[in-house]
Amino acid sequence: HHIDTVRTTFKCPSVYLDDIIIYSRSFDDHLDHLNDVFSRLRSANVKLKPSKCSFARSTVEYLGHVVSRDGIRPDPSKIAAVENFPVPRCVRDVRSFLGLANYYRRFIKNFASIASPLNKLTHKNVRFYWDESCAKAFHTLKSCLTSAPILAYPDFSLPFELNTDASSTGIGFALCQTQDGKSRAIAYGGCDLNTAERNYSTTEREALAIVEGIKKFRNYLHDRKFVIHTDHHALRWLMSIKDPSGRLARWALLLQQYDFTIEYRSASHCKRTQRDVCSQLVIPDALKHEVLVRAHDDVTACHLGTQKTYGKIRTRYYWRNMFRDIDRWCKSCVDCAMKKSPRNRHNAPLLPIPVENAFDRLAVDCLGPFPLSTAGNHRPQETTGDSPFYLLYGREPRLPIDVSLLPPSNVTKSVKKHRARIVQTIDEAHAIARANIQRTQQSMKARYDRSACESKFMLGDRVWVYTPKTKKGLSRKLMHHWHGPFRIIEKCSPVHFKLRTCDNRLVSITVHANRMKPYYDPDSRPQTPPNIEMPDEPPIPEDELPDDALADNTPSNRKFARRCSINYDTTSSCSTPSGIRLKIQSKGRPNGRTRK
């Protein structure tokens, strides 16, 4: 208790009972911290035993751990007790082993799942039976402790990451942090599921892993924004469930006091990434261009998109910022840009036409001739609420059936009064129609703009323009519908732009933003490496060809002996062999033929 009252005045040390550890960034700071601690201990009449103290050490043993500048790891002398622990022969031995191992469970990933067979032996009314699963768990825990990773120190100026996972028997979670561009583990945790929790659905078990992980690392996550990584896609909507009930409502209420976002990360992606790293060849900058050409522009590559090209390259090669270079390469490919429309393209916001007076704006379609219609245009429209006939003449037309069934209308004999009444009726009808049109436009714009976004094109940007026209007799699928590049020279409205070709050869055109997409300069691609001239080699005599060079793989039992001399033009947008020579020899024909 006396140490507890003294440690409140310390600036830098950490104190646990009578163990004090002092950490500093430099040797001079360390001396200042030592003087401060010594003076405060001297004023509190506390004495230190020199044989139990160590000073100016880069590695310190503290509370069963080895603390260094790299992080925290278990004390090897303490791990030796676990490593030399004999095979348990009763429940008491199992509890003793789990007690030793549990102290270092923060260093072992999926500790609860590994130790599950041993925990079952400690349950009430369970007969002690040491089987193969128990032996495997026993030796696995020993192996994990002897090769435990070095846990990083938490940096509270950086965001934390909580990785969670659940199975049918247990849950696991890990607190991580990205430090110096690398994800470092700070602590691991987990627990077994009881009988009731094992009956939860998959989504509920995954949600339970998040709740227990946040409870475990509450001191790190409270009042801080953090990210939760899970391999269960449904948990992304955990906090947006409408009318939650039962345990989901309780969990949602508990999680409301934390500031976090849930990100989905597939388990297969993580496993595949770890597996691919072991078989990747690191590519120097001089060969980036060649790899990208072969993986995207080559005739066998089919000009795939960014994701597929990246998936094909990363299984074999690696270089820094590889995805960024592949994405830039695919976006700047001229062939892809002229054929492919952008994915997940959002339309520009709707720009309604201003409501004006009748016949102020005319739209003419030069088509025809069309047959004359005798039906008239006297049906009420949903937008205006009245028929075009009524809005034009201020009255409804008298149909043939009205003449025979309805009494004649009362028409005033005064032309002046009749004209005034018609003008007043038309003005009132136009005012009502104008209000109805504006209300309909607002409703349509609100519904349309839900999936729209503001245009990000600026003056001077270069863009592609979509032209759906095709020449007669040509296939629409094989035509290039994107043309350009064009340069934006004027912004006519929030969604209309005036364009001109980059060489200023064509007059300017006005285009809607929905028909435009950004242009990426091919000059931003990695530079082409210098060409390597290979010396000419003499042809290989037929009698020196290996046996596997002859293949009997055609219906006519032809044998092919090939020697290819391939020259690639890597400066083109789609590299193809410019010269291939094949020497083909058929059965019964002693003289071979050379084809180019």
Residue ranges per structural domain of the chain:
1-55, 58-150, 152-266, 279-337, 386-448, 459-522
Distance, C-alpha 214 to centroid of its chain: 24
Q: Which residue has the higher pLDDT, 341 or 267?
A: 341
Q: What is the pLDDT of residue 377?
A: 79
Q: What is the mean pLDDT of residues 544-556?
A: 41
Q: Which helix (H) or strand (E) holds 485?
A: strand 482-491
- pLDDT-above-70 percentage for the chain: 78
Is 80 exceeded by the pLDDT of residue 545? no
Average pLDDT over residues 457-477: 80
Tell me the one-letter amino acid at 357. N
For residue 557, is pLDDT > 60?
A: no
| Token representation of residue 460 | 């001077």
Mean pLDDT comparison of 279-288, 381-390, 542-551, highest-scoring range: 381-390
- Sequence length of the chain is 596
Region 479-491: what's the mean pLDDT?
84
3-state secondary structure of 468: coil
Per-residue pLDDT band for 459 (boundaries 50, 70, 90) equals: confident
Fold of 58-150: Alpha-Beta Plaits (3.30.70)
Phi, psi of 593 (to 5 degrees): -115, 140
Q: Residue 455 has what DSSP assignment?
A: -
Query: Taking residues 78-86, what's their average pLDDT?
Result: 78
Query: How high is the pLDDT of residue 187?
Result: 83
- What pLDDT score was predicted for residue 249? 78
pLDDT at res. 328: 85
Q: What is the DSSP string of 200-233?
A: S-HHHHHHHHHHHHHHHTHHHHTTSEEEEEES-G
| pLDDT on residue 570 | 40
Q: What is the model's pLDDT at position 592?
A: 41
- Binned at pLDDT 50, 70 and 90, residue 271 comes out as low
The yes-or-no verdict on residue 13 having pLDDT over 70 is no
d(CA 523, CA 351): 36
Q: For residue range 64-73, list pLDDT tens digits in order.
A: 778 877 777 7
Is the pLDDT score of 247 beyond 60?
yes
Which CATH topology does 152-266 take? Ubiquitin-like (UB roll) (3.10.20)
| 160 touches 221 (CB < 8 A) | yes
User: Degrees (nearest 5) of the Cα angle 22, 28, 29?
Assistant: 40
CA-nearest of 445, 519, 526 to 485 is 519
For position 593, what pLDDT does the model report? Answer: 41
Query: pLDDT of 275-304, one tens digit each?
Result: 554 456 778 888 888 888 888 888 778 888
Q: Whole-number mean pLDDT of the chain?
A: 75
Please spell the DSSP secondary structure of 231-270, one letter per residue.
S-GGGGGGGG-SS--THHHHHHHHHTTSEEEEEE--HHHH
pLDDT of residue 239: 63
Query: Is 263:228 a contact under the CB 8 Å cutoff?
Result: yes
Instruction: Select the CATH number that applies to the domain covering 459-522 from these four: 1.10.3470, 2.30.30, 2.120.10, 1.10.150.
Output: 2.30.30
Q: How many CA atoms lie within 13 A of 40 on its CB side?
A: 19
Residue with more model confidence, 497 or 345: 497
Report the DSSP pairing between strands 182-192 and 170-179: antiparallel
The count of C-alpha atoms lying within 13 angstroms of the C-alpha of 408, restricted to the half-sphere facing its C-beta, is: 3
Mean pLDDT, residues 527-555 taken together? 45
User: How many Cβ atoms are within 10 Å of 411's Cβ, its own excluded?
Assistant: 8
- Determine the 3-state secondary structure of 393 from DSSP: helix
pLDDT computed for residue 343 by the predictor: 67
Q: Which residues contact 252 (CB under 8 A, 6 or more apart)?
A: 238, 239, 241, 244
Q: How far is CA 261 from CA 120, 195, 254, 256, 317, in A?
A: 35, 30, 15, 12, 33
pLDDT tens digits, one per residue of 148-181: 667 777 888 888 888 888 888 888 888 888 877 6
Residue 351 contacts residue 493 (beta carbons within 8 Å): yes
Look at residue 200 and tell me whether its pLDDT is greater than 80. yes
Handedness of CA 578, 579, 585, 590 (dihedral sign): positive
Query: What one-letter code names the amino acid at 445?
Result: K
**In this predicted structure, what is the pLDDT of residue 411?**
66
On the question of pLDDT at 213 being above 70, the answer is yes
User: Is a pLDDT exceeding 80 seen at residue 208?
Assistant: yes
Return the pLDDT at 8.
57
Residue type, 298: D
Asked whether the predicted pLDDT for residue 123 surpasses 80, the reply is yes
Identify any residues that bridge with 560 across adjacent strands, giving them in sequence order. 584
Question: 430 with 391: CB under 8 angstroms?
Answer: yes
Tell me what pLDDT residue 403 has. Answer: 73
Could you give the C-alpha distances from 30 to 23, 26, 72, 580, in angstroms and in order? 7, 6, 20, 72
The pLDDT of residue 423 is: 87
**H or E segment and range at residue 446:** helix 415-448
Span 321-375, pLDDT tens digits: 888 888 888 888 888 888 777 766 677 888 888 888 887 888 887 887 888 877 7
According to the model, what pLDDT value does residue 526 have?
A: 61
The pLDDT of residue 573? 40
Q: Where are the beta strands (DSSP E) in 33-101?
A: 59-62, 65-68, 72-74
Average pLDDT of the residues in 191-216: 86
pLDDT-derived band of residue 509, with 50, 70 and 90 as boundaries?
confident
Percent of the chain with pLDDT over 90: 0
Determine the angle formed by the axes of helices 322-331 and 306-314, rounding to 10 degrees.
Answer: 140
What per-residue confidence (pLDDT) applies to 591?
A: 42
Best mean pLDDT range from 52-56, 89-93, 567-571? 89-93
What pLDDT score was predicted for residue 457?
85
